[in-house]
Structure 1
Amino acid sequence: MPKNELSLTPKTGLVVPQAPALSTAEQAVLAELYLPLIGPVAYSLLAALRGLQSPNTELSNRRSHTELLGILNVDLPTMVAARQKLEATALLKTYFQQDDLGEVYLYLLQSPMSATKFFADDLLSVLLLDTVGELRYQQLADQFTPPVVNVEQAQNVSANLLDVFHIDSQKVTHVPTEIQTVRAEQATSAATPPVMPDLTDEAFDWQVLGQILRQNYVDLKQVAGARQLIMTESRVYGISEIEMAKLISEVASLTTGQFDEGQLKLLIARRYERPTADAKDQLATRATAASVSVPAATVKLSASEQQLVAYANETTPYEFLDELKKQKHGFVTSGENRLIHDLVNRGVLPNGVINMLVYYLIENRNLAALNKNLLETVANDWQQHDLMTPEAALAYVRERQQPKSSAPKRPTRARNGRTPRKEIVPKWAQKQANGTTKTTGNQITEAQRKQLAERLAKLDSNAEKGD
């Protein structure tokens, strides 16, 4: 059956064979531990399937998915998504078959794990911790941990089975046929224990991890035993081998080299805590709306910019910052890790945009290390401008860096930082410079001076004649 459920329609048949009823303890585990993981729709689907159980396992006695959708009051894609959550958490096994009557799905209900097995399972416990947070996780662990009663000073006076009941020794030695038959039937029909996916074959360099931990004197035998936990945490949070070695070394004992796996889970949850499901859904909705309103095709990117955007979309902020620092022959400080953790945890910017923000500060601003005030200022600015894609962030940075030709030129400043004062030339000075000086007051012209000289000369000649 193809994974895209192309052949599943509301008219497709379904059969839910009878499953054992859940005990009170199993119902509590389902409501407290599984419900946060699968969500209310999948939880309702599980209850609806239990209501559709039939003791008759004949495939001819089938119902349609229309009846199931009517009970849940949801559409078909929502039901399929909820069903896949039940399958992923080993609460349901789905089989598909086609016969003369058409297509039919067989839904085999599975019992939930006990609380002890649930908390011992790396995948489920990590997912629960990541979903509900450290405080609620610890509360649930305390809730399902039975109280320890100290009986060291007491004496066991309980009665023995054979002291109370009389049992034929011959029947104990030779078990009756009826008992053997029932045992065989129960062994055949018993539900197989949930098998979670094995992640140990993923691409994770265990040799590098072992070399680092050996130098830090960590017990490698315990590391091998915690292989599934380490792989799970690595995949959930995108933790590299080097960073995982640092985390294990932090919780490992300096004397014995052993570490508490529970403490490792809590440390990773605190260090890489992710936003809640609602915040992630809102962020994804905003990012989708932004990509639709401003398609990537409208932003012209060079080949190198396209590679940068693709890498930013595919890489976690921790890996992106680490790779960027390595290219500059530097390293990621613990303070930078906390800054990235806080920014991711706020759930206000997608990972791709956070990566572009880191690239902008480290490369464009040429910073050796991220600065908290600057990081928060730029992130706040990008959030207010609703930059939900790396392409939009890149276009915004490019626009901010572009010089504005229409803006008026600022006056030049002197070396002391003050604007030079522009002296206003008076009119008289301007006219003096142009050689058009005007007579004022007791100033006389050349003609007047000549005329005066002539008069004085005439007066002198008259005076001489009179003498």
Structure 2
Amino acid sequence: MAQHWQEILPIDRYKVASDGLLHEYDRKVLTLLYQPLIGSTCFSLYMTLWAEIEENRLWSESSTHHLLMNLLELNLKDIYEARLKLEGIGLLKTRVKTDEGGRSFIYELHPPLSPEQFFLDGMLNIYLYRKIGKTHFSRLKRFFSDQQKPSEGEYVEVTKAFQDVFSSGAPGSMQYIQGLSEELQEEENQQFIGRTEPSPIQIGVDLFDFDLLTAGLNESLVPKKALTPKVKNVISNLAFLYQIDAIEMKNFILGAINEHEEIDIEDLRKGARDWYQFVNYDQLPSLINRTQPIVHQTQLTEPKTPEEKLIRSYETTTPLIVFKELSGGVEPSNANLKTLEEIMIKYKLPPGVVNVLIEVAMRKTDMKFTKGFVESIASHWARKQVKTVKEAMELARNEEQKVTESKKTNRSTNKKPIRTELIPDWFDDSSKEAGKDPSQGNNSEVEAKKRSIEEKLKAFRK
């Protein structure tokens, strides 16, 4: 995985293109429906690129990324990460060309889904509901909807057809059709300004094991023809959204088959959603990074040492898999899953950092995963703004070293205290003289002092 400075530089040029006209209504959709999912930085990047396209045009002038950094007041790393999120959610496509003159990009803006597409998407609407809650979600549905038009039975159609209003008259001269064929043709290197229909988010069907699914389904109950391409697309999205494997998906399909031996998509979605909420205490999934974002990966070369291999593993593995591996393959409990989700959302820790946190927490608590202890580490790391696996490992080492030194200090202080007195520096020489062998000094004077002290003691006793 390359770092952002390997993928993009301030001097690299870019142009902004639009896949059709963007309307003012799109701005409302982006602000109210997309921004809660992608964040304000991604929203600002999209809006800035949109502003660079002239009104009713499909292309912008060429600019450098340095200008984009100044416009947004962001560093190149944040811009690159925001660009990846826009690409992932279907709002941006990026093309690059490298030649002798350097590297240039084309950022093609794609319009957002219509409100109807968004609220019936099956993925983005679930993430939005989880993000903003039931009350605001209902308010947005009311904002983007209105009363249906009256049914056709209540009113009689009186609209005139084209041929009832207009007629086609023959021209009186051939001058009208001269050069007509050339004018009807589209000019070379030109395109008409219009708008294409935006495509919803679709998880690749190759990521789901349909062979295992069909092997577990009874042909008499669910015929293979029921697994249409549209149904397969929905199954792939549901499997990604709710983390459902092929064996569990079989049960939802059996519950969604109707009397016509067809799979009812809405029943399938409802069954998967109800199951997920049941096992997750009425919660819905959140939109988070699956693995460590590219911009926060540090192990770029092929790992050689054990530590480099561990960093690479943490950067490319999901927290759920790391948790299962440390647990010996045992599935995490619902409480553990909820704790994992909370620390990634509440404290905004990247997945790679969460992987380090999982190991630190479990090693320190005899393979337990106590919520209070985990949150104490997560809040500390969030305040320290830990973003990379290497930073998390270094911080964990430093904390362990502090604990070890503190224990040594406590053991030493538990010993019987030895009285020490503050003495001036010059006292060292006299104390050394006093500690010399008496035979080297004047013995007669010492004996005389002893006799004098003994006589005073005798007199004091009397």
Query: TM-score normalised by the shorter chain: which range applies?
Result: 0.5 to 0.7
Contact residue 118 and residue 124 of structure 2 kept, 8 A: yes
Cα distance in 1 for residues equivalent to 2:358 and 2:245: 19
Cα distance in 2 for residues equivalent to 1:343 and 1:201: 30
Contact residue 16 and residue 54 of structure 1 kept, 8 A: no
Show the counterpart of 2:270.
Answer: 263
Q: What is the Cα deviation at residue 15 of structure 1?
A: 2.5
Shift in alpha-carbon separation, 1:245–1:337, aligned structure 2, 3 A: farther
Cα distance in 1 for residues equivalent to 2:316 and 2:3: 25
Show the counterpart of 1:233.
Answer: 238
Shift in alpha-carbon separation, 1:193–1:100, aligned structure 2, 3 A: farther
What amino acid is aligned across from residue 6 of structure 2 in structure 1? L
Cα distance in 1 for residues equivalent to 2:27 and 2:60: 31
| DSSP 3-state at the match of 2:111 | coil
State the TM-score, normalizing by the size of structure 2: 0.56
Cα distance in 2 for residues equivalent to 1:118 and 1:53: 25
Contact residue 29 and residue 114 of structure 1 kept, 8 A: yes
Show the counterpart of 1:435.
Answer: none
Show the counterpart of 1:343.
Answer: 339
State the TM-score, normalizing by the size of structure 1: 0.55
| DSSP 3-state at the match of 1:6 | helix
Q: Could you list the per-position Cα deviations for residues 352-379 of structure 1 after superposition, in whole angstroms to 9, with x for gaps in the alignment?
A: 7568878999xx79xxxxxxxx97xx43
Cα distance in 2 for residues equivalent to 1:58 and 1:223: 40
Q: What is the Cα deviation at residue 217 of structure 1?
A: 4.7
Q: Could you list the per-position Cα deviations for residues 17-73 of structure 1 after superposition, in whole angstroms to 9, with x for gaps in the alignment?
A: 577553343232222222223321222222222222258999996332232222211
What amino acid is aligned across from residue 86 of structure 1 in structure 2? L
Shift in alpha-carbon separation, 1:70–1:217, aligned structure 2, 3 A: same
What amino acid is aligned across from residue 372 of structure 2 in structure 1? N
Show the counterpart of 1:422.
Answer: none
Show the counterpart of 1:83.
Answer: 83
Q: How does 1:115-126 map to 2 (within 5 A)?
A: 115-121=115-121, 124-125=124-125
Q: Which moved more, 1:190-199 or 1:229-238?
A: 190-199
Q: Which moved more, 1:137-146 or 1:103-112?
A: 137-146
What amino acid is aligned across from residue 239 of structure 1 in structure 2? I
Q: Could you list the per-position Cα deviations for residues 250-276 of structure 1 after superposition, in whole angstroms to 9, with x for gaps in the alignment?
A: x63687774524424633663474568
Shift in alpha-carbon separation, 1:4–1:380, aligned structure 2, 3 A: closer
Q: What is the Cα deviation at residue 81 of structure 1?
A: 1.8
Correspondence 1:379 to 2:371: yes
Cα distance in 1 for residues equivalent to 2:103 and 2:225: 50
Show the counterpart of 1:448.
Answer: none
Shift in alpha-carbon separation, 1:318–1:45, aligned structure 2, 3 A: closer
Q: 1:200 aligns with which of 191, 205, 227?
A: 205
Show the counterpart of 1:30.
Answer: 30
Show the counterpart of 2:431.
Answer: none
Aligned-residue RMSD, C-alpha: 5.6
| DSSP 3-state at the match of 2:339 | helix
Q: How does 1:39-438 map to 2 (within 5 A)?
A: 39-53=39-53, 62-98=62-98, 102-121=102-121, 124-125=124-125, 127-129=127-129, 131-132=131-132, 136-137=136-137, 139-141=139-141, 143-162=143-162, 165-168=165-168, 180-181=184-185, 193-194=197-198, 199-202=204-207, 204-214=208-218, 217=221, 221-224=225-228, 225-248=230-253, 252=256, 258=264, 260=266, 261-264=268-271, 266-267=273-274, 270=277, 271=280, 273-274=284-285, 314=317, 317=320, 337-347=333-343, 350=354, 378-384=370-376
What amino acid is aligned across from residue 238 of structure 2 in structure 1? E
Show the counterpart of 2:453.
Answer: none
| DSSP 3-state at the match of 2:206 | coil
Contact residue 242 and residue 272 of structure 2 kept, 8 A: no
Larger gyration radius, structure 1 or structure 2: 1
Shift in alpha-carbon separation, 1:265–1:102, aligned structure 2, 3 A: same
What amino acid is aligned across from residue 339 of structure 1 in structure 2? A
- Which structure 1 segments of 5+ residues have no match? 289-299, 366-373, 400-405, 409-467
- Determine what percentage of the aligned residue pairs are the same residue: 20
| DSSP 3-state at the match of 1:94 | strand
Q: What is the Cα deviation at residue 137 of structure 1?
A: 4.8
Contact residue 317 and residue 340 of structure 1 kept, 8 A: no
Shift in alpha-carbon separation, 1:44–1:382, aligned structure 2, 3 A: closer
| DSSP 3-state at the match of 1:201 | helix
Cα distance in 2 for residues equivalent to 1:141 and 1:318: 37
